[in-house]
Amino acid sequence: MYASERIGLSLGLPLLLGAGLAAALGGGCLNIGAYTCSDNNQCLDGGQAGFCQPTGYCSYPDPVCATGFRYGDDADADLAGECVEVPGATDTDTDPTTVDPTDATSSGGSSETGLPTTLEPTTTNDTLDTDSTATETGDTCGSLDQPCCGDTCDDGLSCFGGTCGCIEDMAAGPNHTCVTRTDGHVFCWGANETGQLGVVGLVSSPVPVLTAETLLGGDGTRATQIDAAAHTCALREDGNAVCWGENAFGASIPAMPSKTAAPPTLITLATNWLQPALGTGFTCIAQSADFVATCFGRNDRGQLTGAESPGPISIESLFNFVEIDADTSHVCGRTVTGEMYCWGENADGQLGVNPATVPFSATVRQILVPPVGDIAVGAGHSCARVGDAVQCWGDNALGQLGDGTGVDSLTPVSATLPAGAIANVTASGNVSCAQLGTGEVYCWGDNTGNKLQMLGETKNDLFTPSPLILDLTDEAMMPIEIDEVAFGSGHGCVLSDTHEVYCWGLNAQGQVGNGIPSAQVLSPERVDLTCD
């Protein structure tokens, strides 16, 4: 459901011939046993899966190393057995990239290929120090993981659910996860083959790494919201956005598509954006004040409402969107009066019309539902909170609509939730979730990687067509009260009411964030995110 472009490097060493080879052997400089790789599948050590680093050598999980990886014994002699270094950790002088697509001569300019010429990475790539915290935890209120002092906490912390913490927002892409802290910094972990972590030199990271420090938090301007696909975008408190990752259609740098991953780039199209919504190869952001939506990137299925790709374009202001959401190839928005409009892909009826006659729509179409509250967009389905019900339509092959039938529907059907008020609704890929007014979270749809925590001896049931409660416990078997959920292709994460992050599911690329890549993590594990 997600498109991605592998940008990993294959750096196999050339073979020395003739006298050159003899000289190298005589001098002891050549490690004949060095094994070069170009793909993760080539890295196996006693059955343990490894990762092919951009250096061209295999590495294997080792939580002692700052990056979580150590080179294997068959790497080059200078690297064998050494920890994989944090790339660029000592290079803190890189200038941030700023793009104003309306000015062809703005920061970076362009090369003869039309691509920006100064797209330098904007992060120090520092990993989190998992052994330190900003404040000592004690018995007094206001410090980390301690009760709030009324509704206040120490500097750098905020009061969440009566407890002081620092993680503010969370988003998951297909195989990575990112969070924002209250100090405005962003940390990401998991896959990085499309640059979605915002760092260079890492194929993936099983531990959180600091992203775009000079643009997010480091310059005094906080990141406030984040969303993720094969690329990632964060909104700043000044109303601008910073995006990075996959950019083949200009989803990360508007009007400047490139075959290579985009570094973290400041986008100055507006100064009053309020909500990002990312799809496969495109980005839409709702704008405050006049509630316009700005979109840029891929447009093969009408994602930009018929405008020429890669944009950016503004969706007509007459719709007055106060909320926007996107997934694979379609977008929906909610107006200030509760009307719902969608556009883009309609292969599964996610726009509420017959796909045989309307396979996709470059025209913004109203969805015939009563006034709605929250809206949610999945890969091939759409949902909305309508009063005390959640109604969904479109693809139902994996139970995404939650009505128990598994049958696609062009008209809204109600998910079979317990009676009572609905607080909010979310969707991602082929999963839908609703949080009740009582706090319980119910989810339905795809269960790849056991991301819905479905019961059963195999813990590998494929999907559920009816809502099931997401009943989670921590390592101490204490219940996790859920404030926010996020799902990737095969992993899930929650932000607890005390704003700690727990993840589980498929973990070959470190997307669970527990420091040790593995095939699968069955139960939620706390991601070690510090607040310093």
SS3 assignment for 426-441: EEECCEEEEEECCCCE
Instruction: Name the pairing type of β-strands 262-267 and 97-99.
Output: parallel
The pLDDT of residue 315 is: 79
The pLDDT of residue 25 is: 29
On whether the CB atoms of residues 374 and 323 are closer than 8 A, the answer is yes
**Given CA atoms 344, 346, 351, 356 in this order, what sign does their dihedral have?**
positive
DSSP state of 24: H
Q: Residue 501 and residue 297: Cα distance in Å, rounded?
A: 31
SS (H, E, C) 368-404: CCCCCCCEEECCCEEEEEECCEEEEEECCCCCCCCCC
444: Cβ contacts below 8 Å, ≥ 6 apart? 399, 400, 402, 415, 431, 432, 433, 452, 464, 465, 466, 467, 468
Burial of 220 (0-12, 13-18, 19+ CB in 10 A): exposed
Structure tokens at 446: 């795809």
Read off φ and ψ for residue 20, nearest 5 degrees. Answer: -60, -40
The pLDDT of residue 155 is: 81
On whether the CB atoms of residues 448 and 506 are closer than 8 A, the answer is yes
The pLDDT of residue 104 is: 34
Per-residue pLDDT of the chain in tens (532 residues, 90 and over written 9): 333 322 232 222 222 223 332 333 233 333 345 888 876 667 777 656 667 787 888 887 765 665 667 888 888 888 899 887 754 333 333 334 555 544 433 333 333 322 222 233 333 333 333 333 333 344 578 888 788 898 888 887 888 878 888 899 999 999 999 999 998 999 999 999 999 999 988 999 999 999 999 899 887 899 999 999 999 999 999 889 999 999 999 999 998 999 999 999 999 877 678 889 999 999 998 876 566 788 999 999 999 987 777 788 887 666 778 899 999 999 999 988 899 999 999 999 999 999 999 999 999 999 988 899 999 999 999 999 999 999 999 999 999 999 999 999 999 999 999 999 999 999 999 999 999 999 999 999 999 999 999 865 445 578 999 999 999 999 899 999 999 999 999 999 999 988 899 999 999 999 999 999 999 999 999 999 988 7
Q: Residue 248 and residue 245: Cα distance in Å, rounded?
A: 9
On whether the CB atoms of residues 218 and 225 are closer than 8 A, the answer is no
10 Å Cβ neighbour count for 300? Answer: 14
H/E stretch holding 22 reads: helix 18-27
Q: Determine if the pTM surpasses 0.85.
A: no
The pLDDT of residue 482 is: 95
Of 347, 44, 375, 68, the residue nearest 192 (C-alpha): 68
On whether the CB atoms of residues 430 and 445 are closer than 8 A, the answer is yes
The pLDDT of residue 63 is: 57
| Amino acid present at 287 | Q
